[in-house]
């Protein structure tokens, strides 16, 4: 299935090659969760991320239980502070 | 060590100065910078005094780690009673001025009274002069700094000054140092202006000494390495704080059109990618990043405006590089006023630095004026012929300059949004707390931020607590009081060290404690350092209570408490302050009216 990806800041570096700035998509097996996608992209797991699916917040607990479906948009944003 | 153990006290009324020993018992209890200046303020003035009167004290404070080899050691704070709020003001700045003040041999510079004519302070180590500023009064921050370096024939002189905004009492005037770093919030520049003090020019050659150089070098090496290795540090260096704008847009926490919306269609025109993307004519907004004194993060942005842009076409004096967009300036000149013209935003930033104004308060005040205009409470005749509508880039640039120069409708904008909206009959359009405007986070989406805003001792502020991680996991009021209280106490410590909050991208309290203990001839235990933070927070609270604030001031505008977020991840939600505030008071050891109990004050040693 295809999952659309939206990232912020330097997280765009983890998008598949050829992606636009902070926009891309990834092909992954049926039944994948947000954690599966993040691991597939090689993102470090020890950071806080603002994670959303189709515009809804996904909590840390839900990242390994929420089953994505074809065409879902997964958002991964860095929680920085603005000075 | 690493305090200089000296306070420079200047009486502007008498035009006298004296050096006195630092109260070391207070230094152990309040560390330095924000905490120690708060203690001196509380002991030295009546919290009920007029903030613009001669009885207000104005304190420039360094921390024990300011000017040392620790990373980000350029910080200093300006502590006073703020005219925007009537509450305690603590505005923190970077650049190089703070380290230079420390190198001149002082932990604190205390300014009292009021000069009978414009003056500036010139300090070279123990030589302190109060000199006439007749030739500087009425000039910009940039001109003042340039001229003082010429007058004293020393390009290494560091200057902190005010512009016309500070001279004329703009309620959110700031103190600018090193051309584009500022002690920005709460109107500390207006206090400086009220004392007829145009600038402080300082040159220091004394240096600093640490207590245990070998241990200090080792812990600094380790903490710098830890900071360097984090993604958060790299994010700040490469993207700047404006990386937050994409996160807030996605989250639905980006205040837009004076908080009537929480998402903004134009973010892709003003985000970090836009700052680096060439326009059709080849112009690129961002030139480079920049670090403050001793900083190994370098989050600052240096930008320039397209010479063909309407704001500076035929104005060569602005065809140069200066401070660029950070998140709060991007928010305050962008979404909250509905503008997505990156050159217009950058020009507004130039105006803030050149004339000495807080961009957050200016932007949100302009947003309130736009809402007044769109609701018919202001007319085009009153706004100097400018269509003060959301999205009008010309309104942003023209009003930024008019406010800085205090011309036309800019005089009204200088009131700040609370006074402005009250004057024109719509106080419900004021978006802030205790008279101070909100930063770029909507507390319907970030609930802990709402509690932090409501309880911040200097009025609405995003930098005195840190609940970002909790807010991004859950959008209810549950579980926010404890992390809000704990992070307020931690921040009180960090703001008192002389180091920058952004080091928390890698460091916890232990990293600050080991650096302090190696630098100072005093050792804090983990419990003691935690208690210092709680003590500072409670002393600030006591200042405000004595100034007349009550529980009724720990609140948010109805728009956030009663009107649901219209879109984003928090669509349909309001800020649950009613859930969070009682729990917060209880955790703080305050009674139900928000007053610290005798037990709490006794435990913290506050009399």
Place of tokens 């050149």: B354
Chain A positions touching B244 (Cβ under 8 A) are 80-82
Q: How confident is the model at residue B182 (pLDDT cuts 50, 70, 90)?
A: very high
Can you tell me the mean pLDDT for B387-397?
98
CA distances from B399 to B337, B393, B405 (A): 12, 10, 10
Does the CB of B288 have a partner CB in chain A at under 8 Å? no
Chain A positions touching B569 (Cβ under 8 A) are 52, 55-57
Would residue A40 count as lying in a domain? yes
pLDDT at B122 over 70: yes
Can you tell me the mean pLDDT for B143-166?
98
CA distances from A7 to A38, A51, B248 (A): 11, 10, 12
Residue of chain A whose alpha carbon sits nearest to that of B272: A9
Residue of chain A whose alpha carbon sits nearest to that of B299: A83
Can you tell me the mean pLDDT for B552-577?
97
The pLDDT of residue A81 is: 67
Question: Shortest CB distance from A83 goes to which of B247, B328, B472?
Answer: B328
Question: Shortest CB distance from A56 goes to which of B326, B473, B569?
Answer: B569
Residue B343 burial (10 A CB sphere; 0-12, 13-18, 19+): buried
Chain B positions touching A5 (Cβ under 8 A) are none
The pTM of this model reads 0.96
Q: How confident is the model at residue B428 (pLDDT cuts 50, 70, 90)?
A: very high
The pLDDT of residue A83 is: 64
The separation between the first and the last C-alpha atoms of chain A, rounded to the nearest angstrom, is 40
Q: How do residues B247-260 score in pLDDT, each as one tens digit?
A: 999 889 999 999 99
pLDDT at B369 over 70: yes
Q: In Å, how far from its chain's centre is CA A79?
A: 14
Residue of chain A whose alpha carbon sits nearest to that of B277: A21
Would residue A83 count as lying in a domain? no
Give every CB contact of residue B528 below 8 A, 6+ residues apart in sequence: none
Can you tell me the mean pLDDT for B336-348?
98
Per DSSP, the three-state class of B416 is coil
Residue of chain A whose alpha carbon sits nearest to that of B445: A57
Give every CB contact of residue B213 below 8 A, 6+ residues apart in sequence: none
Would residue A12 count as lying in a domain? yes
Q: How confident is the model at residue B371 (pLDDT cuts 50, 70, 90)?
A: very high
In a mutational test of the A interface, the residue from B244, B270, B331 whose CB has the highest number of chain A CBs within 10 Å is B244
Residue of chain B whose alpha carbon sits nearest to that of A20: B273
Question: Shortest CB distance from B246 goes to which of A8, A48, A55?
Answer: A8
Can you tell me the mean pLDDT for A15-21?
88
The pLDDT of residue B415 is: 98
The separation between the first and the last C-alpha atoms of chain B, rounded to the nearest angstrom, is 27
The pLDDT of residue B381 is: 98
Contact indicator for B185, B361 with CB cutoff of 8 Å: yes
Residue of chain B whose alpha carbon sits nearest to that of A45: B231
CATH number for position A64? 3.10.20.30
Would residue A24 count as lying in a domain? yes
Would residue A35 count as lying in a domain? yes
**Cβ distance of A83 and B475 shorter than 8 Å:** no
**Cβ distance of B247 and A78 shorter than 8 Å:** yes
Closest CA to B54 of B197, B225, B241: B197
Does the CB of A59 have a partner CB in chain B at under 8 Å? yes
Question: Shortest CB distance from B247 goes to which of A8, A47, A55?
Answer: A8
Domain range for residue A42?
2-77
Q: How confident is the model at residue A21 (pLDDT cuts 50, 70, 90)?
A: confident
Catalogue the long-range contacts made by B276-285 (C-beta closer than 8 Å, 24 or more residues apart). B279/B306, B281/B306, B281/B308, B283/B307, B283/B308, B285/B324, B285/B325, B285/B342, B285/B343, B285/B346
The pLDDT of residue B466 is: 93
**Cβ distance of A81 and B244 shorter than 8 Å:** yes
How many domains does one find in chain A?
1
Does the CB of B238 have a partner CB in chain A at under 8 Å? yes
Would residue A46 count as lying in a domain? yes
**Cβ distance of A52 and B272 shorter than 8 Å:** no
Would residue A82 count as lying in a domain? no
Q: How do residues A24-83 score in pLDDT, each as one tens digit?
A: 999 999 999 999 999 999 998 877 788 899 988 888 888 999 999 999 999 998 776 666
Q: How do residues B23-77 score in pLDDT, each as one tens digit?
A: 999 999 999 999 999 999 999 999 999 999 999 999 999 999 999 999 999 999 9
CA distances from B473 to B14, B443, B528 (A): 56, 14, 31
Would residue A19 count as lying in a domain? yes
């Amino acid at each position: 299935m295809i999952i659309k990806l939206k990232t912020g800041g330097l997280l765009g570096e983890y998008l598949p090659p050829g992606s636009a700035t902070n926009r891309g998509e990834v092909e992954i097996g049926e039944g994948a969760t947000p954690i599966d996608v993040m691991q597939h992209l090689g993102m470090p797991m020890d950071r806080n991320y603002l994670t959303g699916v189709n515009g809804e917040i996904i909590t840390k607990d839900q990242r390994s239980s929420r089953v994505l479906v074809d065409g879902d948009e997964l958002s991964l944003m860095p929680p920085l502070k603005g000075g | 060590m690493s305090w200089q153990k000296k306070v420079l006290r200047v009486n502007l009324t008498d035009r006298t100065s004296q050096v006195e020993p630092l109260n070391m018992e207070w230094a152990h209890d309040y560390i330095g910078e924000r905490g120690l200046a708060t203690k001196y303020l509380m002991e030295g003035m009546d919290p009920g005094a007029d903030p613009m009167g001669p009885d207000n004290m104005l304190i420039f404070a360094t921390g024990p780690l300011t000017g040392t080899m620790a990373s980000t050691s350029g910080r200093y704070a300006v502590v006073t009673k703020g005219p925007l709020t009537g509450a305690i003001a603590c505005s923190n700045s970077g650049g190089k001025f703070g380290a230079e003040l420390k190198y001149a041999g002082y932990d604190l510079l205390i300014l009292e009274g009021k000069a009978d004519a414009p003056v500036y302070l010139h300090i070279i180590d123990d030589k302190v002069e109060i000199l006439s500023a007749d030739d500087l009064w009425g000039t910009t921050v940039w001109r003042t700094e340039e001229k003082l370096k010429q007058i004293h024939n020393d390009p290494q002189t560091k200057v902190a000054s005010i512009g016309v905004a500070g001279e004329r009492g703009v309620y959110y005037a700031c103190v600018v140092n090193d051309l584009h770093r500022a002690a920005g919030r709460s109107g500390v520049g207006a206090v400086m202006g009220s004392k007829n003090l145009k600038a402080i020019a300082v040159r220091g050659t004394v240096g600093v000494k640490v207590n245990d150089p070998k241990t200090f070098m080792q812990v600094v090496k380790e903490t710098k390495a830890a900071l360097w290795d984090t993604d958060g540090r790299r994010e700040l260096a490469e993207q700047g704080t404006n990386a937050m704008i994409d996160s807030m847009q996605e989250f639905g926490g980006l205040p837009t059109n004076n908080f009537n919306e929480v998402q903004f269609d134009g973010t892709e025109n003003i985000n970090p990618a836009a700052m680096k993307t060439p326009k059709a004519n080849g112009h690129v907004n961002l030139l480079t990043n920049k670090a403050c004194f001793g900083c190994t993060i370098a989050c600052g942005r240096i930008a320039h405006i397209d010479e063909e842009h309407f704001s500076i076409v035929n104005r060569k004096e602005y065809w140069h590089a200066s401070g660029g967009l950070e998140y709060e300036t991007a928010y305050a000149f962008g979404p909250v006023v509905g503008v997505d013209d990156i050159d217009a935003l950058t020009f507004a930033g130039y105006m803030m630095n050149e004339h000495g104004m807080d961009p957050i308060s200016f932007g949100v005040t302009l947003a309130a004026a736009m809402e007044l205009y769109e609701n018919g409470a202001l007319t085009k005749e009153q706004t100097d012929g400018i269509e003060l509508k959301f999205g009008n880039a010309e309104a942003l640039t023209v009003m930024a300059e008019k406010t800085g120069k205090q011309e036309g409708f800019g005089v009204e904008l200088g009131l700040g949004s609370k006074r402005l909206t009250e004057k024109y009959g719509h106080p419900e359009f004021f978006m802030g707390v205790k008279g101070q405007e909100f930063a770029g986070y909507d507390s319907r989406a970030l609930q802990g931020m709402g509690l932090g805003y409501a309880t911040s001792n200097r009025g609405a502020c995003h930098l005195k607590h840190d609940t970002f991680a909790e807010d991004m996991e859950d959008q209810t009021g549950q579980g926010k009081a404890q992390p809000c209280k704990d992070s307020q106490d931690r921040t009180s410590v960090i703001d008192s060290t002389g180091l920058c909050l952004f080091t928390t991208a890698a460091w916890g309290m232990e990293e600050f404690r080991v650096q302090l203990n190696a630098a100072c001839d005093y050792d804090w235990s983990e419990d003691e350092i935690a208690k210092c933070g709680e003590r500072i927070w409670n002393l600030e609270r006591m200042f405000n209570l004595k100034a007349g604030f009550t529980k009724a001031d720990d609140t948010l505008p109805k728009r956030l408490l009663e009107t649901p977020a219209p879109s984003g991840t928090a669509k349909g939600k309001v800020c649950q302050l009613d859930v969070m505030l009682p729990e917060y008071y209880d955790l703080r050891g305050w009674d139900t009216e928000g007053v610290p109990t005798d037990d709490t004050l006794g435990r913290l040693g506050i009399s």
